[in-house]
C-alpha cells in the first residue's frame, strides 16, 4: 500500500510586507511605512476568485509592526478582519504574524483554526549575526509563543529554519524545547524543517542548504520529537527530486501549504501538482489534501470554527 503524503491546498494573503525586524536572509520585508496594507476589498476580490479552485487554507502571513507602535492595534485589527472575511467566504484561516501578546493571541484564536510561528533556532549566537537587528527573533520570545498557544489550546505549527549559521548540535536544543512544550500542552501539530535557500532580495547572501543537511535534520527530529508531531518539509526549497524523496523516506510526511506563490521564498516556485503526484507515485507514495487543522484538535476550536471545519472534512471525504 502507498504511503500517504499530505499537503494543505492554500493561498497566502499578505496584510503587509512591512516589518520592523531586519533578518539578513529575508526576501519578504520592506521598511515600515513603505507598503500599503492589504484592504478588505482587495482581499475579498482575491478570495472570490479562489472559491472555485479547491483552496481550503488561507495563510495570513504578515510582516510585523512593532508592539510599541501607535499603528500596532490597527495592524492587528486588519489581520483579524482578514481572517474573519476568509472564514465568512468559506475558507479556513491560519495566521503567522510574528510574536503576539497573550491578549492578541487569545483574540486571534476566535478566527483561526490553527496558528504558526517558527522557533527557527534557539542558538543565542544568531542574535549577533543574522538576527542582530531582529528583536522578534529573541529565542525566549519564540518559546513564550509556544507556551501562550499551549495555554490557549491553539493547534500550533512551528519549526526550524536550517542553515542560518547554527551548529547541528543547536538543532537538538531547539527540537527538545519544542518537544517539551508539546509534552506539557499537546498542541504542536506539525514541525517544519525549512532549509534556507538564497533569494534575490536578501540583504546578505548565505550558501544554500543541501539535501544531505536537511536529511540529517530529519533524522535528528525523528529522534527528538514525539511521534504524534507531523514532520513537514517545503518541497519547493528542495530542488533535487532524489533529495525530496529521501526526506520523505526518512520520515517527513507532509508538504505544507501549497499555493501559487511562496511569499517568504518568492524565487522558489512549487512543482506543478501533476508532476508532484507522478513523482511520488513512482516511489509508492500518494499525495492527499488535508485541512490546516489536524483532526485530533477539532474539539479544541470554538463552536463556529468547528462547524466550518466539519463542512470541509465532509467535502474532502466525498
Phi and psi torsions of 233, nearest 5°: -130, 145
Only segment of 18-26, 139-147, 241-249, 273-281 that touches ligand SF4 (CB under 6 A): 18-26
* Those residues with Cβ within 8 angstroms of residue 1's Cβ, 6 or more apart along the chain or in another chain: none
| Of the residues 10, 15, 29, 285, which one makes contact with ligand SF4 according to CB under 6 A | 29
With contacts defined by CB under 6 A, how many residues of the chain interact with ligand SF4? 12
Q: How far is the CB of 21 from ligand SF4 (least distance, A)?
A: 4
Q: Note whether 161 binds ligand SF4 by CB under 6 A.
A: no
Which of 5, 10, 19, 111 forms a contact with ligand SF4 (CB under 6 A)? 19
Q: Which stretch binds ligand SF4 (CB under 6 A): 22-30, 37-45, 184-192, 307-315?
A: 22-30
> For ligand SF4, which residue of 7, 11, 28, 297 counts as binding (CB under 6 A)?
28
Site for ligand SF4 in 63-122 (CB under 6 A): 63-64, 98
Least CB distance to ligand SF4 at residue 36 (A): 17
Angle at 39 between CA 57 and CA 65, to 5 degrees: 85
**Binder of ligand SF4 out of 5, 14, 23, 143 (CB under 6 A):** 23
* Closer residue to ligand SF4 in complex, CB, 136/189: 136
Q: Among 21, 110, 253, 306, which residue sits at the site for ligand SF4 (rule: CB under 6 A)?
A: 21
Binding mask 278-317 for ligand SF4 (x = CB under 6 A): ----------------------------------------
Smallest distance, ligand SF4 to C-beta of residue 168, A? 22
Shortest separation between residue 17's beta carbon and ligand SF4, angstroms:
8
Q: What is the CA radius of gyration of the chain?
A: 18
Matching residue, cell 531547539: 174
Q: How far is the CB of 66 from ligand SF4 (least distance, A)?
A: 11
Provide the binding-site residues for ligand SF4, judged by CB under 6 A: 19, 21-23, 26, 28-29, 63-64, 98, 134, 136
Amino acid at each position: 500500500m502507498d504511503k500517504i503524503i499530505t499537503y494543505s491546498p492554500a493561498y497566502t494573503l499578505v496584510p503587509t510586507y512591512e516589518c520592523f525586524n531586519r533578518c539578513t536572509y529575508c526576501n519578504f520585508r520592506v521598511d515600515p511605512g513603505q507598503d500599503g496594507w492589504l484592504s478588505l476589498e482587495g482581499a475579498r476580490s482575491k478570495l472570490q476568485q479562489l472559491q472555485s479552485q479547491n483552496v481550503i487554507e488561507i495563510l495570513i502571513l504578515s510582516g510585523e509592526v512593532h508592539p510599541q507602535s501607535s499603528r500596532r492595534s490597527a495592524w492587528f485589527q486588519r489581520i483579524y478582519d482578514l481572517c474573519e472575511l476568509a472564514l465568512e467566504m468559506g475558507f479556513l484561516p491560519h495566521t503567522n504574524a510574528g510574536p503576539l501578546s497573550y491578549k492578541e493571541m487569545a483574540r486571534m484564536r476566535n478566527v483561526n483554526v490553527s496558528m504558526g510561528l517558527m522557533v527557527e533556532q534557539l542558538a543565542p549566537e544568531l542574535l549577533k549575526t543574522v538576527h542582530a537587528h531582529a528583536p522578534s527573533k529573541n529565542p525566549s520570545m519564540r518559546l513564550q509563543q509556544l507556551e501562550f498557544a499551549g495555554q490557549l489550546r491553539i493547534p500550533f505549527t512551528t519549526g526550524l529554519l536550517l542553515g542560518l549559521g547554527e551548529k547541528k548540535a543547536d538543532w537538538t536544543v531547539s527540537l527538545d524545547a519544542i518537544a517539551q512544550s508539546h509534552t506539557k500542552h499537546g498542541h504542536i501539530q506539525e514541525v517544519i524543517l525549512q532549509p534556507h535557500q538564497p533569494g534575490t532580495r536578501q540583504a546578505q547572501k548565505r550558501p544554500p542548504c543541501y539535501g544531505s543537511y536537511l536529511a540529517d535534520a530529519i533524522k535528528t527530529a525523528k529522534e527528538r520529537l514525539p511521534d504524534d508531531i507531523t514532520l513537514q518539509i517545503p518541497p519547493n526549497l528542495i530542488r533535487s527530486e532524489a533529495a525530496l524523496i529521501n526526506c520523505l523516506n526518512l520520515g517527513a510526511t507532509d508538504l505544507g501549504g501549497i499555493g501559487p506563490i511562496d511569499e517568504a521564498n518568492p524565487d522558489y516556485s512549487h512543482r506543478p501538482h501533476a508532476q508532484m503526484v507522478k513523482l511520488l507515485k513512482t516511489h509508492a507514495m500518494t499525495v492527499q489534501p488535508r485541512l490546516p487543522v489536524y483532526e485530533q484538535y477539532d474539539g479544541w476550536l470554538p463552536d463556529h470554527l468547528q462547524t466550518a471545519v466539519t463542512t470541509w472534512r465532509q467535502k474532502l471525504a466525498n
